[in-house]
Chain A
């Protein structure tokens, strides 16, 4: 589903050059829930940005559904629109839109008719348990509620891949557990691949695979053997 080979990312040049990611390769199957682990500065976010097509690698290649990802900005934008859902650490909901409109937005970009996108968005908001807040705007919601809306937004177009950056970092224990359950359940239903960067050990337990980065290098890539882990279908 997602394959990347020899990915490197270097920032700056000359003496100020900083290599954030060094020769990272791996392959992730359809429906897997993969955690990117490692201390701060290990390159998790950099790898996530590259695999989410938000940034371009200095070296290496990425394949999505057996197709090499394009380099053209417009084509990348279209690919993100069709194939990737994002859950950002700081939710990044559009502040002027209501929860329902935020979830509708990716469908609007895909040209889905208003009635259909409204129905799908509402169904997903109900599924993540914030249906009653559909008409509220982000600043009227708690952190947990916003994160649920962000999850609904990421999943509403049923993308094959969801990129999540520290989805539980700003949540209390109960909310974090609920969010993890939600992602696991919705992902399983739609056979969605999740790639999650996190420091949260509770999340590691639920992932089918752990990729561990240290100083920009992939130092470990192993399957999770815990019973709570979600398996690739």
Chain B
């Protein structure tokens, strides 16, 4: 039967090629659409994890309750813990972070800011999470000596508001952890764009020690843990939580509100488009297969007249459809891989998404799992339509089937 099915496909090769092209084009469209969605999700997830850290250690109330004074829900640094975490094979970095806000002034004009006190090594460890527009990033090691100027990176929007350039001197004012007011003179060493214009009008980075100096506290807001393999996240989170019940371990998924909002939006868009695409695919594949089988009604009638059993006739067509579906799936997989490679070689930029000022490269993520499912669906769809059409042809009165034109 397999030999006969292969023979039929080969000898009907023009028809096989045409129907196979319809099937593989449909599956390629599904794989490309889903691959783009997957790439978008992966990019967003990667960005969120890179910005926030895979796990965050904080005071249990830090993400739940507004602080009365800065660092009310801060935590003490724990060098032993940080050393222990860094000793693990799956941990890439452990970075403390200070979150605060206040006023920034150029001496003539003030505006509010959202500040992050970071370890200077963060820029090296996390990779290019900010686009530096002028100057550079914070130095990897900042030693808070009294005679050193304090380096500062500010968003391009904030720089524009304050007419600040690299080398400009600014003053930061903020409430301390005891509720008093404190100020700090800083020097702009870099101007960056995060890709979100609204954020760039407020955001600034400075060394964590300088931030602590401003807030007059040794505490930090959170300790961010970056993993080499995000598959280890759940296990490590459980272990850490058990180890330190006084602290709260928060995975990045619980903090990535933008990721969740975008994913929900894209799920709806891609979901709707996916259903429409699937219907089109079903229609195209179904129509192609049905037509191929219907065109062979006379052949079916002849086989039945000569004494071939109905289930064998139908079985033959279903097997042909299965092979056609399998060949089409292979062709679709290859053409999807080719598209992925072409996009990798010849970068195509997408326009910036709403709320962002930066475009991003169009990429397609190839998923073996998704490809396998799509191939299975394609083969099953081919088989079902072949079954339906061949059963209908085989059930035709023999006299009608023999005279079918």
The residues of A with any CB-CB pair to B shorter than 8 Å are 49, 52, 54-55, 73-74, 77-78, 80-82, 86, 88, 92-97, 105-106, 109, 137, 153
The 9 closest A-B pairs by CB, nearest first: A81-B307, A96-B11, A92-B302, A54-B398, A80-B307, A109-B307, A96-B8, A49-B399, A55-B399
Q: Contact: B309 with A96, CB < 8 Å?
A: no
Least CB distance, B221 to chain A, in whole angstroms: 74
User: Is B304 a contact of A96 with CB atoms below 8 Å?
Assistant: no
Q: Is the CB of B309 within 8 A of A74?
A: yes
A55-B399, A81-B307, A94-B303 known; 16 new pairs, CB 8 Å cut-off, are: A49-B398, A54-B305, A55-B398, A77-B304, A77-B309, A81-B306, A86-B305, A92-B298, A92-B402, A93-B302, A95-B11, A96-B11, A97-B7, A105-B306, A106-B306, A153-B306
C-alpha gap A86/B299 in the complex (Å):
14
Q: How does the 8 Å CB contact mask read for B201-227 relative to A, with 1 for contact and 0 for none?
A: 000000000000000000000000000
B308 at the A interface (CB under 8 A): yes
Residue of A whose beta carbon sits closest to that of B301:
A92
Kindly provide the distance from the CB of A8 to the nearest chain B CB, expressed in whole angstroms. Answer: 16
27 A-B pairs with C-beta separation under 8 A = A49-B398, A52-B305, A54-B305, A54-B399, A55-B397, A55-B399, A73-B310, A80-B306, A80-B307, A81-B306, A81-B308, A82-B307, A86-B306, A88-B302, A92-B298, A92-B301, A92-B302, A92-B305, A93-B302, A94-B299, A94-B302, A96-B11, A96-B12, A97-B7, A105-B306, A109-B308, A137-B11
CA distance A73 to B311 in the complex (A): 12
Residue of B nearest to A45 (CB): B399
Contact with A along B141-175 (1 / 0, CB 8 A): 00000000000000000000000000000000000
Identify the closest chain A residue to B299 (Cβ): A94
B4 nearest CB across to chain A (Å): 9
On chain B, which size bracket covers the interface? 20 to 34
Interface string of B309-333 (1 = CB under 8 A from A): 1100000000000000000000000
Q: Do A109 and B299 form a contact, CB below 8 Å, given A49-B399, A55-B397, A55-B398?
A: no
CA–CA, A78 and B268, complex, Å: 56
Q: With both chains docked as a complex, state the minimum distance between the C-beta of B13 and any C-beta of chain A, in angstroms.
A: 10
CB-CB nearest in chain A for B311: A74
Closest Cβ–Cβ distance, residue B353 to chain A (whole Å)? 53
Q: Which residues of A contact B310 (CB under 8 A)?
A: 73, 77
Q: Which residues of B contact A81 (CB under 8 A)?
A: 306-308
The docked-state distance in angstroms from the alpha carbon of A90 to that of B94 is 82
Q: Which residues of B contact A77 (CB under 8 A)?
A: 304, 307-310
Cβ–Cβ contact A96 & B7, under 8 A: yes
Q: Which chain B positions have C-beta within 8 A of A153?
A: 306
Chain B residues with Cβ under 8 A from A55's Cβ?
397-399
Measured CA separation A106–B310 after assembly (Å): 15
What CA separation (Å) do A86 and B307 show in the bound complex? Answer: 11
- State A54–B305 Cα separation when bound (angstroms): 7
Chain B nearest CB, measured from A156 CB (Å): 11
Inter-chain contacts of A73 with B (CB < 8 A): 310
| Nearest-Cβ distance from residue A42 to partner chain B, whole angstroms | 16
- In the complex formed, the residue of A with least CB distance to B12 is A96
Chain A nearest Cβ from B69, distance in angstroms: 85
| Chain A residue with the shortest CB-CB distance to B309 | A77
Nearest B residue to A153, CB-CB? B306
A69 to chain B, nearest CB (A): 14
Expressed in whole angstroms, the minimum distance between the Cβ of B15 and any Cβ of chain A is 10
> Which residue, B302, B304, B306, B309, has most C-beta atoms of chain A within 10 A?
B306
CA distance A88 to B404 in the complex (A): 13
Q: How far is the CB of A216 from chain B (nearest CB, A)?
A: 16
Interface flags for B385-405 (1: CB within 8 Å of A; 0: not) read 000000000000111001000
CB B323 to nearest CB in A, in angstroms, measures 14
| A96, closest chain B residue (CB) | B11
**Residue among A95, A96, A109 making CB contact with B306, cutoff 8 Å:** A109
B307 partner residues in chain A, CB cutoff 8 A: 77-78, 80-82, 106, 109
What's the minimum C-beta distance from A175 to chain B, rounded to whole angstroms?
Answer: 22
Of all chain A residues, which has the CB nearest B303? A94
Cβ–Cβ contact A80 & B303, under 8 A: no
What's the Cα separation between A41 and B342 when bound, in Å? Answer: 65
CA distance A174 to B304 in the complex (A): 32
Interface centre among A73, A96, A97, A106 (most CB of B within 10 A): A96
Across-interface contacts of A97 in B (CB, < 8 A) = 7
Contacts of A137 in B (CB 8 A): 11
Instruction: Provide the bound-state CA to CA distance between A190 and B8, in Å.
Output: 33
Nearest chain B CB to A98 CB, angstrom units: 9
Which chain B residues border A78 with CB–CB below 8 Å?
307
A74→B312 CA distance, assembly (Å): 12
B305 neighbours in A (Cβ, 8 Å): 52, 54, 80, 86, 92
Whole-angstrom distance between the Cβ of B296 and the nearest chain A Cβ:
8
- Measured between beta carbons, the chain A residues less than 8 angstroms from B399 are 49, 54-55
B393 shortest CB reach to chain A, Å: 14
Of B298, B301, B398, chain A has the most CB atoms within 10 Å of the CB of B398
* Complex contact A88–B402 (CB within 8 A): yes
Instruction: Give the residue among A81, A82, A94 with the most B Cβ atoms within 10 A.
Output: A94
CB neighbours of B397 from chain A (8 A): 55
Q: Which one of A54, A74, A93 contacts B402 once the chains associate, using CB atoms below 8 Å? A: A54
For window 346-405 of B, CB contacts with A under 8 Å fall at 397-399, 402
Residue of A nearest to B302 (CB): A92
Q: Distance in Å from the Cβ of A167 to the closest Cβ of chain B?
A: 15
